[in-house]
Every structure is written in structure tokens, then in C-alpha cells.
Structure 1
Amino acid sequence: MTTQIIIVLILTMFINGMTTLSYAVRIIGVRTGRIAITFSLFNILVLLSRTANTLQAPLLAKTVEQHLKQGVFSNELIFRYIIASCTAGAIGGVLLIPTFQRLLLKAVVHFSIYRSVPRLFYLGFSGAGMQFLKENIRMPTKQQLLALPARNNFPWRIFFYNVVATAIITIAVLSCVYAAYLNPEYRTTASNLSGVINGVATVLMALFIDPHLSVLTDDVVLGKLSEADFRKFISHMILARIVGTLLAQVLFLPGAHLIAFLAEKV
């Protein structure tokens, strides 16, 4: 396995870990009552995740270009590993949630007082900050991992949408890059179709998933929904992400063949 692929695997796990942790941000927002500040601080990590995402595709595309020059026209196993790293990143994010919540809660309280991001970073990497991290490392409890929502009010439709959207987002770039093996003459067109595929998943999330999550967040703040029920809902949205990355293994190759066909026809 080349250095480029190892970097892609690491970046993929980081990106998916950050995406999973984004669900925990809502819990901290409603707990502190400072939703705007909470999301603002988390967006700093999101910026790092998006930067990693911009590096992922070129590194992977370069690997494919090198393979094509060497006469290699199939390397499915590497892409399977990358999708598996998406699952690993999502699971890693789940394991980090209790620790991340404690750190973010402390950061929100500190920022509310001093209102300085540089000072927040300075304290975070200071001796006291490292000690706080060491004392607050936690793993999810069995009750948190197995929390079940009430059957009569859980929106399983939203769960299904999240599974599908996650699967599409997971394979969007990968299927488009792999399509270069299937149709080398149109590999540039195929790679540019990743934005279209991602757009479909983004629309699905913007129309159905994010508005529902926002309404539930407001319901907790207004006292219409208990924090315990909200946490159960969030835990199942996280589960939907993990299931979506597993579904991506099934959709990856058919998606690549579809992209290779569309690249030639558009």
C-alpha cells in the first residue's frame, strides 16, 4: 500500500469522525443554551475536515493515474479499504463522543467568558488543558450505545434518508475516481461528476434531515422534548451514518459503472 493511499485512509477516517461528532454538538448546544457559540467553535474543526476533504480526491486520483500508466485497470480492493475507513472513522467518532462533549462544553463556557479563540487554543494546549483532557477521557456506556427511542414517535423515515444520504456521500468521489479504470478515455468527465452525485445527497439532507434535526433541537430548548429523548434520537442518527457507510460497500461498484456510462453519454 502506497504512502498516498495511507494518507487517504487517515484523511477519510478524520473526515468521518468529525462528521459523526457533529451530532454531539447539538447536545452540547441545548445543554448550555448557547447553540450559536457551540456551532461556531465546532466549525473550526469542520474547517480542518473540509481541508482534509480537498486533499483526499487529488491524492486518490493521482494513484489511479499512475496505475493507468502502468497498465493497471482495476484496483477495487483499495477502494473497499477506503470505504471501510469511513466506517472506522464513524465508529471512532462514536467512541470519542463522551470525551468530545466534555471538552467542547468546557470550551463553550470558557469562550463565553473570555471571547477569544487564540486564548482558547492557548489554554487547550497548555499543561492545565492537557491535564483536563487526561481527566475527562471517557468511553460511551452500554446504556448510551443501546439507547432506544420510543417506537411510536421515532421518525424512521428520517433514519432511512440519513442512511441513503450517507451512502451516496461516501461513494460519490470514490465511484467517480474508480470510473477512470472502467472508462479511461472519459476519466476527467467522470471525476467532475462527483459534485453532481454529492449534490443529490446534499439536497436530500437539506430537505429532510437537517430541518428535522433543527426542529428537535429547538423543541429541547423550548422544553417540548426531553434531553434524554433527544440524545436517543441523535444516537440513532449516528447509527444511520454507520449503516450508510456499510451500504456504500454495496453501492460502490454499481455507482462506478453508472458514472462511467454517464461520463461517455453526457
Structure 2
Amino acid sequence: MLTFIIYLIGTLAYSTRIVGIRTGRIAVSFAVFNVFVLIQRTANTIQAPLLAKTIENGINTGNSGNLLYIFRWIIFSITLATIAGAVLMPTFIKVFDKLVTSFSAYRSLPKLMIHAFSKSGIEQFRNSISIPKRENLSELRNFRKTPKKVILLNVIAFSISSVSVLSSLYAGCLSPNLRTTCSTLASVVNSVSTIFMVIFIDPYLSMMTDDVIKGECTELEFNRCIIFIVAGLIVGSILAQFILVSASNLIVIIAKLI
């Protein structure tokens, strides 16, 4: 459940980029985006000790064989979360639109959060509920004008980040005498996906945002790119199922070498 919530938040955060284009409040929208990313990454730090405890119990009881089965269910919850986030994006685009507008009035994130959970805030959320439009889904067929390299890198980066903690912990299960070293390598693995995001994906989306503002790119093309980015998250989470064991074995090899 915690994993589902973490990755649902991460997927919905992309809605704020579309809102930034629609409202013209780019900086405020990115500030809201950073808040949601911060929540996701903070929740990830809570997740790791809980999983480490599961590893310890599995090793102590000699029942470590079931851990791979548990980890595959965790990755499956990531896939469900990204799919749910994709379905909920139209709703949260409307919600974030109102949040960005309200932020300009309140000029304080704590006050904005209080308003979000107030009676009027809940009513606004209820009125914002909507489902994905068929024409938006049809954009997935138009693959010619999409940045294929960026989408591929996004798939790879998300698959790596999905297994970073899990593979390092499972590596500790495969080699119990090196499990401390293996667990510390989680941050190294996760930094690889972070580098992909910071160097290739985020700058590209930022440049597309500037192009839309300057009129060199249409809002439809930007939305199409976001749709493919979110679809890439789903594909990346599925790919994570296939690289979990290989990544764990690789971490064991690295732990032995260092």
C-alpha cells in the first residue's frame, strides 16, 4: 500500500507540468511539482527500513525463498500505481489547476494544504473528477513526432529506480555476509536513474515548456509528450520485473569486488 501511494504521487506529479502550460504559471507549477517529488522521495526513505526488516526476518527464520515473491508483488503495485495515476491525471490536472491558482492567493504551502482539506477544497475536488478522453488516448498512436530517445531513457530510468532498493536488499539475501554493503549500494543504483532524469528527461521537458511559451511548440505536442512519459513509467515498471534478479546478482558481484 505504501509503495502504491508513493508511485501514485510520483505519476500524478507530471500533471503539474501540463497545468503550468495551461495557466502560464510555470514557476508556481514547478514548485508544486517539487513538493510532490519531495513527498515521494521522503516516503521512499520510510519504505527502505520496512523492507530491510523483512529481509532480516526472512534470513533469521530461514524463509528467505519467499522474499523474491514478495518483491515481485511490490513491483506489481508500482505498475498498478502508475496505471492508476494515468487514469487519474485528467482529474488531478483540474485539481492542480485550482491549487496553482489558489497558491497565488494564499502564497503559502501550509495555508494551501489547509484549504485543500477544508470543506470547500473537498467540494472542488469532487467537482474535478473526470475520466481520460478518448482523443487523448488516441495520441498514443501518433508515435512519429515523439522524442523516442527521451521516452526510452525514461523507461530505463524508471525501471532502475523501481528496483534500486529492492535489488540491493535482495542481493543482501543472496549474500547475507555482504548484506550491509549491498544495502548501501541502493543509493548508488538509484543515483543512476536520477542522473538519467536530471540530465536527459527533465531538461527536455523544460525546453519543451519554453518552446510552448514562445509558440514554437503546440500545447497538444507537449501533452502528447507527457502522455508518452507516463506510458513509459508503466512500461518501465513492467521491465523492472525482468531485471530484478539480474540487478541483485550484479550488486552482489560489485559488493564482492569493493
> Conserved in 2, the CA contact under 8 Å of 1:149 and 1:232?
no
Looking at structure 1, the residues matched to 143 and 235 of structure 2 have their Cα atoms a distance apart, in angstroms, of 19
> Conserved in 2, the CA contact under 8 Å of 1:168 and 1:201?
yes
> Conserved in 1, the CA contact under 8 Å of 2:92 and 2:128?
no
C-alpha displacement at 1:120, in angstroms? 2.1
The counterpart of 2:196, out of the listed 201, 204, 209, is: 204
Aligned to 2:7: 16
> Conserved in 1, the CA contact under 8 Å of 2:15 and 2:96?
no
For the pair 1:33 / 2:24, whether they are aligned, the reply is yes
Deviates more, 1:47-56 or 1:86-95: 47-56
- Superimposed CA distance per residue, residues 63-120 of structure 1 (whole angstroms, 9 cap, x where no aligned partner): 1101111112322110000000111111111111111111111111122123233332
Looking at structure 2, the residues matched to 83 and 123 of structure 1 have their Cα atoms a distance apart, in angstroms, of 34
CA RMSD in angstroms, aligned pairs only: 1.5
Looking at structure 2, the residues matched to 142 and 149 of structure 1 have their Cα atoms a distance apart, in angstroms, of 12
The counterpart of 1:42, out of the listed 29, 33, 38, is: 33
Q: Which amino acid aligns with 2:18?
A: I
TM-aligned CA distance change 1:242 to 1:135, over 3 Å = same
C-alpha displacement at 1:45, in angstroms? 2.8
Following TM superposition, where does structure 1 have runs of at least 4 consecutive aligned residues deviating by more than 4 angstroms? 149-152
Q: Which amino acid aligns with 1:219?
A: D
Looking at structure 2, the residues matched to 128 and 160 of structure 1 have their Cα atoms a distance apart, in angstroms, of 41
The counterpart of 1:120, out of the listed 94, 112, 115, is: 112
Aligned to 2:60: 69
- Superimposed CA distance per residue, residues 184-236 of structure 1 (whole angstroms, 9 cap, x where no aligned partner): 00000000011111111122222221111111111111111110111111100
Looking at structure 1, the residues matched to 106 and 180 of structure 2 have their Cα atoms a distance apart, in angstroms, of 49
Looking at structure 2, the residues matched to 33 and 99 of structure 1 have their Cα atoms a distance apart, in angstroms, of 19
| Percent of matched pairs sharing the same residue | 42
> Conserved in 2, the CA contact under 8 Å of 1:149 and 1:233?
no
TM-aligned CA distance change 1:193 to 1:37, over 3 Å = same
Deviates more, 1:229-238 or 1:36-45: 36-45
What are structure 2's unaligned runs of at least 5 residues? none
Aligned with 2:132: secondary structure?
A: coil
For the pair 1:260 / 2:249, whether they are aligned, the reply is no
Aligned to 1:191: 183
> Conserved in 1, the CA contact under 8 Å of 2:78 and 2:237?
yes
Aligned to 1:137: 129
Looking at structure 1, the residues matched to 254 and 104 of structure 2 have their Cα atoms a distance apart, in angstroms, of 51
Within-5 A mapping of 1:223-262: 223-262=215-254
TM-aligned CA distance change 1:151 to 1:141, over 3 Å = closer
What are structure 1's unaligned runs of at least 5 residues? 1-9
Aligned to 1:5: none
C-alpha displacement at 1:38, in angstroms? 1.3
Q: Which amino acid aligns with 1:122?
A: I
Q: TM-score, normalised by structure 2?
A: 0.94
Aligned to 1:89: 81
Deviates more, 1:244-253 or 1:132-141: 132-141
Looking at structure 2, the residues matched to 240 and 21 of structure 1 have their Cα atoms a distance apart, in angstroms, of 14
Looking at structure 1, the residues matched to 240 and 143 of structure 2 have their Cα atoms a distance apart, in angstroms, of 27
Deviates more, 1:202-211 or 1:175-184: 202-211
C-alpha displacement at 1:149, in angstroms? 6.8
C-alpha displacement at 1:17, in angstroms? 1.2
Looking at structure 2, the residues matched to 110 and 73 of structure 1 have their Cα atoms a distance apart, in angstroms, of 50
Q: How many pairs align?
A: 257
